[in-house]
């Protein structure tokens, strides 16, 4: 039995996606043991996401949207089911493969930015490069270029405490881009920002998506979801419905 499971080609559900879907979720279930008994955060979700797509995961708190994002980021493993990201089933990946996945495939953007407070903006952007073993000079150059890309070239030496919320989130976005990961995972990226600043951040994310990166945003804000190609509505760990939309603010109206 184990043998069969180890050879995914024999099982229909575990088949890796052919070409375009960069992400394929197959019957993903995630249960947690809590004090009061098991809690099912994700209750059987199957979903394909194409490379270059912008998907918003929407739902009330407890709907499983963040759990899903953590599964995609390789911070967590499903209880059952398969999470295929680029040719790797995260459900069966080794620890080392998960670390590589976090380094090379995905970039995280958090609601509370999660910048290291004792490091400058530049050093924060350098972090993923440092962890991936990139040498100092190459690291500086790349981080500086990324800060320029998010419009913070002047602020490179500032500590997070010297930056506004919007600026901090831009630093965090530059950090998520550092290792040229094809997938960006954002958990309520505008949750701690006022609407104007939030809109700026969403435009930046949308631009990055248009430049070719797959973008998955968890939000409960319809205004944020409006930027996405598809909105996946979740409730109680299951997909309620999927909306395909022509996002607002897209000049070409694709």
Partner 1 sequence: MRPLDVLATGLGNLRRRKIRTVLTSIGVWVGILTVVTMVSLGIGLQAQITDIIKQWGLETVFVGPKVPQQAAGAFNAYARVRPDKPITPAVVAGFRALPGVAGVEPMMDIPEGLNLSLTFSGKSYPFILVDQSSRESLFQQQVDVTAGHALPPGETGRGLVISHRYLNGQGILPAAEAALIGQQAVLHAETPRGDKADFPLTIVGIDTATRGGKIGTADAVGLKQWWFNAPDILQTDGYAQVAVHARSLNEASQVAGAVAAQGFSAQTLQLLLDQVNRIFLIVETMLSSIGILALIVASIGIANTMIMAIFERTREIGVLKALGASNGDVLKMFVVESAAIGLLGGVCGVIGGWLLSRLLDWVIHNYLTSIQVSIPAPFFILTPALIAGALTFATVIGLLAGIYPAARAARLDPLTALRHE
Binding site for partner 1 (CB under 8 A): 70, 73, 75-76, 95-96, 99-100, 102-104, 108, 110, 114, 116, 118, 127-128, 130-133, 135, 175, 179
Residue with smaller CB distance to partner 1, 118 or 250: 118
Compute the least distance from the CB of residue 76 to partner 1, in Å: 6
Residue 132 Cβ vs partner 1, minimum distance, rounded to whole Å? 6
Minimum distance, C-beta of residue 75 to partner 1, in the bound complex (Å)? 5
* Pick 119 or 210: Cβ nearer partner 1: 119
Residue (173 or 231) nearer to partner 1, CB: 173
Closer Cβ to partner 1, 70 or 214, answer by number: 70
Residues near 157 by Cβ (< 8 Å), separated by ≥ 6? Answer: 120, 121, 122
H/E stretch holding 47: strand 37-50
- What are phi and psi for residue 190, nearest 5 degrees? -110, 10
In the complex, the smallest distance separating the C-beta of residue 179 from partner 1, rounded to whole angstroms, is 7
CA-to-CA distance for 242 and 253, rounded, in angstroms? Answer: 19
Cβ pair 207, 170 in contact under 8 A: no
Other CB atoms within a 10 A radius of the CB of residue 192 amount to 16
Those residues with Cβ within 8 angstroms of residue 117's Cβ, 6 or more apart along the chain or in another chain:
159, 160, 161
Task: For the CB of residue 194, give the shortest distance to partner 1 in the complex, in Å.
Answer: 23
Question: Would you say 131 or 242 has its CB closer to partner 1?
Answer: 131
Q: Which residue's CB is nearer to partner 1, number 116 or number 240?
A: 116
2: enclosing H helix or E strand: helix 2-6
Distance CA 77, CA 72 (A): 9
Q: 235 pairs with which residues across the strands?
A: 238
**Residue number, 179 or 209, with CB nearest to partner 1:** 179
Min. distance of Cβ 153 from partner 1 in angstroms?
22
Distances (CA, A) of 92 to 78, 99, 231, 252: 9, 13, 28, 41
**Shortest Å distance, C-beta 8 to partner 1:** 25
Of 57, 103, 97, nearest in space to 77 by CA? 97
């Amino acid at each position: 039995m184990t043998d069969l499971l180890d050879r995914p080609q024999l099982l229909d559900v575990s088949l890796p996606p052919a070409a375009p879907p960069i992400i394929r979720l197959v019957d993903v279930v995630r249960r947690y043991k809590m004090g009061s008994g098991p809690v099912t955060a994700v209750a059987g979700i199957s979903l394909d996401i194409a490379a270059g797509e912008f998907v918003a995961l929407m739902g009330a708190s407890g709907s499983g949207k963040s759990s899903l994002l953590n599964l995609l980021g390789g911070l967590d493993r499903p209880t059952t089911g398969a999470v295929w990201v680029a040719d790797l089933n995260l459900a069966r990946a080794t620890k080392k493969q998960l670390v590589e996945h976090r380094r090379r495939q995905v970039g995280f953007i958090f609601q509370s930015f999660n910048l290291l407070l004792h490091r400058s903006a530049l050093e924060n952007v350098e972090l993923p490069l440092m962890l991936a073993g990139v040498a100092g000079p190459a690291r500086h150059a790349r981080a500086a270029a990324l800060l320029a890309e998010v419009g913070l070239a002047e602020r490179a030496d500032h500590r997070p405490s010297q930056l506004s919320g919007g600026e901090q989130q831009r630093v965090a976005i530059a950090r998520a881009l550092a290792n040229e990961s094809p997938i960006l995972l954002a958990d309520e990226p505008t949750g701690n920002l006022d609407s104007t600043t939030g809109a700026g951040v969403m435009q930046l994310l949308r631009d990055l998506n248009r430049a070719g990166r797959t973008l998955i945003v968890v939000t409960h804000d319809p205004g944020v979801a409006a930027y996405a190609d598809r909105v996946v509505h979740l409730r109680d760990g299951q997909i309620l419905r999927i909306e395909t939309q022509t996002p607002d603010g897209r000049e070409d109206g694709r």
